[in-house]
Structure 1
Amino acid sequence: MLLRKVKQRALKAIGEDFRLVDFSFALPYTYVLIEGRRRALGVAMTLPEEVGRYRSSIEEPSLEAFIERADSINVIERTLGMAAINALSQYYLDLSGAPDKDVVELLGENPKVVAVIGNMPPVVSGLRRRGFEVLVFERNPKLWDRDTLSDALEYDLLPEADAVVVSGSAVINGSIDMILERSKKARALILTGPTAQLHPDFLRGSGVTHLASMSVTNVERALLKLKLGSFRGFEGESRKYVLEVEP
C-alpha cells in the first residue's frame, strides 16, 4: 500500500520537535500548520462523499499522531494524515530550482493517449487543445460532464494510456495503488493538485514520475482563505511547481 510506505518514510524524516500550530478537517481543503525553524502549511482535498461517520480516534493531536493514522480506513484520519505529511514535506522541500510549470507543459508532445484521474477541467481542456486524446475518469458523479468516464473503467482503460495525470486525492481515496499497477505502459505518471504536496523522497520507486503541485507563498493569508472556505483564494497565495521523482 503506497500510503503506508509514504507514512513510514514521513515518520522517519521527522528530524526536530515540531509544534502543531493549527489544523482542521474542513472544506474545500483539510489543512495542518506546523512550526519548527519556520512555518509550513500542508493541505489535502476533503472528500465528503467518502465520509461515513464523522468520528476520529485521535485524542491528542500532534504531527506524529496525524501521520500515524494516514493509512487508517477512516477517511477523516487519512485526510488529516495526508495534510500532515504534506506540511512536513513542504517544510523540508527546497523549491528554489523547481520550475513553475503546469501539467500541460510538462507532458511535451509525445503522448497520444492521456488519462486524467479526477475531472480537472483546466487540465483536460489544455490537453485537448494540444490535440491529445484524453480519457477523463471521475468517482464523484457530481463532477461528471458529458465526456467523463466512471472510475470503474480505469482498470480496463488505463493500460492504453501513454501518460497518466492523477489528482492527489487518489492517494486519500485508496485508488492510487490500482492506478499505478494498471499504468505500466505510461511513460509519465504525474501526481497533481494541492494534495500532491508530497516530498518526492516519500514516493521514490513508486512509479510516480513527477509531482505537479503548489507551495504556499503567504502562509497567514492562505490560512485565512482556507478558514473562509475559499478554493481560489488559497490558490492565489500559492505558486505552482514541478518536481521529478526518482524511479
Structure 2
Amino acid sequence: MGIADRITETLADSAVELNVSDVRIGVKYVSVQLDNGSIGLAYLFPESLRCENMLLSDDSHLAGMNAGELLSWLKTNNSLSRSIGLAAANAVIGSPGGSTLSGDVRSVIGLQTGEQVAMIGHFEPLVKDIRDQCSLNVYELDTTMADGLIESSDAMEGLKSCDVALMTGTAIINGTIDGLLEAATDCREVVILGPSTPLVPEAFSGTPVTMLSGVVVIDDKILRVVSEGGGMRRFKQCVQKLNLRLN
C-alpha cells in the first residue's frame, strides 16, 4: 500500500465526522478549513492551475462537503485534487498527539560532520548550514531556481548512497514518494519536511522515515495569505513548526 493510501486509510474514520467550511486555492498553496476550525495546507504545483485540471462546475461548491470526500481526492490522478486532498488530511490531523519537538528541522536532525545528504526539493534556508558541515546534493524539478541544482530524475540513484535524506512532502502530491522511500532504505535518517507534510506517524510505519517535520496552523489569517498567493515566508506568523520523531 502506497503512502497516499496509508494516509487516507489512517484518517478516514476521523474525516467522516467533519465537514469542510472553507477552501482556498491560491497560486502556491491550497488551504482547507474544517467546521472544527482546523486548517491544513498543501503545496500547489503550477501545472495544477491549467484549465484541464479544474474540478467543479460553476454551480458546485467545496465548502459544505464532507472532509472524508475531500480526503479521498489524495488518491486521484489529478494534481489539483491531490493537493486539496492532502490539505484536507492536514486539517483532519490538526495538532498531532504524542511527543513533538518545535522549531526548525536543522536543529533536531543531528547531522554529523562529513555525512552525505540528499535534499529532495530546494529548501533554500537549510542549504548553507548543511553545506558548511556535510556534502549536500539538492534535487529539484525546476533546476533554474538556483545554481548547482540536480535534476529530480537523478534523485533515486543519489538516495542509494546518502546518509541522510531530506524529502519534500510535495512528493506525496506528485506521486514520487513511494519510489523515493524505496531508494532511501539504507539511509540513517529520512525526514519528510515542509508545510505539506502530514504529521501522522501511522501512515509511515514500516518505511525508512525517521522524522516528520511539518507545520500546524495557529492563526486563520493564513487563509488570506493563501488567497493572496503567499508562501512559506508569509506563513511564519500563522504556523508553528513541529517535528515528530518516528524512530
- TM-score between both structures, scaled by the size of structure 2: 0.88
Please report how far the alpha carbon of residue 50 of structure 1 lies from its aligned counterpart in structure 2 after TM superposition: 5.5
Q: Which of 59, 78, 85 matches 1:81? A: 85
Counterpart Cα distance in 2 of 1:169 and 1:182: 17
Amino acid at match of 1:106: V
Please report how far the alpha carbon of residue 140 of structure 1 lies from its aligned counterpart in structure 2 after TM superposition: 2.1
In structure 2, the partner of 1:42 is 40
Q: Specify the SS of the correspondent of 1:161.
A: coil
Please report how far the alpha carbon of residue 57 of structure 1 lies from its aligned counterpart in structure 2 after TM superposition: 6.0
Please report how far the alpha carbon of residue 169 of structure 1 lies from its aligned counterpart in structure 2 after TM superposition: 0.5
In structure 2, the partner of 1:211 is 212
In structure 2, the partner of 1:69 is 73
Change (3 A) 1:207 1:150: same
Counterpart Cα distance in 2 of 1:9 and 1:227: 29
Contact 1:114 1:161 in 2 (8 A): yes
Amino acid at match of 1:105: S
In structure 2, the partner of 1:228 is 228
Counterpart Cα distance in 2 of 1:238 and 1:103: 14
Contact 2:25 2:226 in 1 (8 A): no
Amino acid at match of 1:40: S
Change (3 A) 1:18 1:67: same
Contact 1:31 1:83 in 2 (8 A): yes
Counterpart Cα distance in 1 of 2:84 and 2:168: 17
In structure 2, the partner of 1:101 is 103
Please report how far the alpha carbon of residue 119 of structure 1 lies from its aligned counterpart in structure 2 after TM superposition: 0.8
- In structure 1, the gaps of 5 or more residues are none
- Per-residue CA deviations over 1:36-78 (Å, capped at 9, x if unaligned) read 3xx1110001001356522226966321111112111111111
Q: Which of 135, 138, 142 matches 1:136? A: 138
Give % identity: 22
Amino acid at match of 1:56: L
1:1-247 counterparts in 2 under 5 A?
1-14=2-15, 17-36=17-36, 39-49=37-47, 53-56=52-55, 61=62, 62=65, 63-90=67-94, 93-94=96-97, 97-110=99-112, 112-129=115-132, 131-143=133-145, 145-219=146-220, 221-231=221-231, 232-245=233-246
Counterpart Cα distance in 2 of 1:124 and 1:182: 22
Amino acid at match of 1:2: I
Amino acid at match of 1:118: G
- Per-residue CA deviations over 1:144-199 (Å, capped at 9, x if unaligned) read x2211001111221101101001110111111111101111111110101001432
Contact 1:165 1:189 in 2 (8 A): yes
Tell me how large the CA RMSD over aligned residues is: 2.1
Contact 1:42 1:197 in 2 (8 A): no
- Per-residue CA deviations over 1:112-154 (Å, capped at 9, x if unaligned) read 001000011111122112x1000100012442x2211001111
- In structure 2, the gaps of 5 or more residues are none
Please report how far the alpha carbon of residue 238 of structure 1 lies from its aligned counterpart in structure 2 after TM superposition: 1.1
Q: Specify the SS of the correspondent of 1:4.
A: helix
The number of equivalent residue pairs is 238
Counterpart Cα distance in 2 of 1:50 and 1:28: 10
Larger RCO (alpha carbons 8 Å, 6+ apart) = 2
- TM-score between both structures, scaled by the size of structure 1: 0.88
Amino acid at match of 1:100: S
Q: Specify the SS of the correspondent of 1:156.
A: helix
Please report how far the alpha carbon of residue 243 of structure 1 lies from its aligned counterpart in structure 2 after TM superposition: 0.5
Amino acid at match of 1:55: M
